[in-house]
Structure 1
Amino acid sequence: MTPPSITLRAKIDLTGPALRSAGSSLWRAPDPRRRYRDYLCAMHMVIRASVPLLRVAAARSEELGETELAEYLDRHAEEEADHDDWLLEDLALVDPSAGDAPRGTPPPSVAGLVGAQYYWVLHHHPVALLGYIAVLEGEAPSPALLEHIERSTGHPRAAFRTLWRHASLDPGHRDDLDRMLDGLPAVRERQDAVGTSALHTVRAAAELLRELAGEPAGMFSCT
């Protein structure tokens, strides 16, 4: 029997080109300096939800008697702590006027990416969140890509700390997630929930990147 992690990665790989194409469009768009600022604002809006979302999912798992899943989600919440602060530190180097945190209303693309997970966690099963994690941490940015973005924006290396750290951390997180997926009970409904969440995450993340690439640079509300 094919391990669930392999099945999930195959599903993600089928739709992955759309996500990679959206990312490529963003980093080829005019005015890369301001695009990167917009990207940091958008990613902060997404990442600041990570720990609260993981905690909600862990609590829901405990309610359902899913102790192993709850422990994994709690552990991952600890690993993700302060990542939103890293983004703010990067943003301060790119745009000192941005302030302590982006205050603009998150657009529907951000709410759709994150909000669907709350629905599945609270109204279906928290295992769905594993699909979200699999996409967001499944493909770490390559050093070549990060160096390209640095060159094209002209921002200092220090302004890319979050991306460089994730390039280092995400492969280990991916391995932990795969072990969690492969240790789950072989229940079709759970595997379907993880797969549905992952495919939605690919589509929603690609939509957000296309939005960042398509708008005039600097139009993504951060203040």
Structure 2
Amino acid sequence: MRLKLAPAAPALAAATARLWRDDRGLTARYTAYLRAMHGVVRASVPLMELAAQRCSTMPRDPVAAPLGAYLREHAEEERGHDRWLLEDAARAGADPGEVARALPPPAVARLVGAQYYWVAHHHPVGLLGYIAVLEGNAPAPWLADRLAGATGLPRAAFRTVREHAVLDTGHRAELDALLDRLDLTPAQESAVAVSALHTADALAALFARLGGTAPAHPPGAPAHPPEGEGNP
């Protein structure tokens, strides 16, 4: 799967670099990032719980039992991380209640929504591709300190970035080990790969919008500008 993802890696890396490289407007971009990632992360546990529940209805599929066990365990590891983002947003000067209530932009719905469809209407194994991309592109270990220094925001406003720089490395290794253990059919391998490629493309598009290289909302859609120095 990592080989299949390789062609998508440069676009995602470039969008991530553009998001953080320029100090001008960085506070606004960081706040927009927190808003968007809250929309993504608050779906993580419900998605894994839905996929695990679907696994429990597939007793004849040899992949279902180990997949469901992994998803239930991983859901507990990820529980509460959406609250971290709200706390970071508050420390960055945003209203966490407004962040939680805001309509997530279409780029977030595109990234997350496909997973709900594939889990509910195809096979829950595809969710592993989504997880592989999100946890395979963890924040760099130095990023939290660089953002704190460049924005002047308190270090406490970067908990999510700092924690995931550590946590996601271990989670990626666990997922890779699971994928090696699972006896996937060719169709299941394809589901994981398609999900991963879609996730890489959608995440790159989201970061490009946050970085100001693409419109944050389609024409006519309501915008939710971040707190700070104008739109990202």
Same fold at TM > 0.5: yes
Which residue among 107, 112, 117 is the counterpart of 2:115?
117
Asked if 1:207 corresponds to 2:200, the answer is no
Give the alignment of 1:1-223 within 5 angstroms.
8-29=1-22, 30-65=24-59, 66-99=64-97, 101-214=99-212, 220-221=224-225
Q: Distance in 2 between matches of 1:208 and 1:101?
A: 17
Partner deviation per Cα, 1:123-176 (whole Å, 9 max, x = no partner): 110000000000000132212333322222221111100111111111111111
Amino acid at match of 1:59: Q
Deviation at 1:101, TM superposition (A): 4.1
SS of 2:103's equivalent in the other structure is coil
Give the gaps of 5 or more residues in structure 1: 1-7
TM-score (norm 2): 0.87
Between stretches 160-169 and 178-187, larger displacement belongs to 178-187
Report the more deviating stretch, 97-106 or 159-168: 97-106
Aligned amino acid, residue 188 of structure 1 = P
* Larger helix share, 1 or 2: 1
Q: For the Cα contact (< 8 Å) 1:212–1:220, is it kept in 2?
A: no
For the 8 Å contact 1:88–1:100, the answer to whether it is kept is: no
Contact kept, 8 Å, 1:141 with 1:163, in 2: the verdict is yes
Of the structure 1 ranges 9-18 and 37-46, higher mean CA displacement relative to structure 2 is found in: 9-18
2:104 is aligned with what amino acid?
A: P
Contact 1:98–1:222 under 8 Å retained in 2: no
What is the alpha-carbon distance in structure 1 between the residues aligned to residue 5 and residue 154 of structure 2? 33
How many pairs were matched up? 214
Q: TM-score, length-normalised on structure 1?
A: 0.90
SS in 1 for 2:18: helix
2:153 partner SS: coil
The CA distance in 2 between the partners of 1:51 and 1:174, in whole Å, is 17
**Aligned partners of 1:25 and 1:210 also within 8 Å:** yes
CA distance in 2: counterparts of 1:151 and 1:56, whole angstroms: 40
* Cα RMSD for the two superposed structures: 1.8
